[in-house]
Amino acid sequence: MRSPDGELEGFDSWYEAYPRKKAPGDAQKAWRQTAAERPPVATMLAALQRQIAEWKQQGRPIDRVSYPASYLRGKEWADEPDKPLAATTPYRRLG
């Protein structure tokens, strides 16, 4: 999947780690399109690993994870970690 000019450098390792394998050609196109704004591949992989752990903890089914190209175009690598849900206080009647 590498191009001679290096446009796809790092794509293979990122795509291999991405949990939803859909539309690889579109993912390659998005990889090229986001090259100027993407962080280094190591940073992308670290963000993805953190997000995968969150998705598993949330029990998010694979079909609720963005397609790879959408993830890239949406700059989802920069998403802040989800905050844990606050413990709820039991309802108490006032008065």
pLDDT digits (tens, 9 = 90+) for 8-50: 999 999 999 999 999 999 999 999 999 999 999 999 999 999 9
Distances (CA, A) of 60 to 11, 23, 47, 54, 81: 24, 20, 17, 9, 15
pLDDT digits (tens, 9 = 90+) for 57-89: 888 898 899 999 999 999 998 888 776 655 555
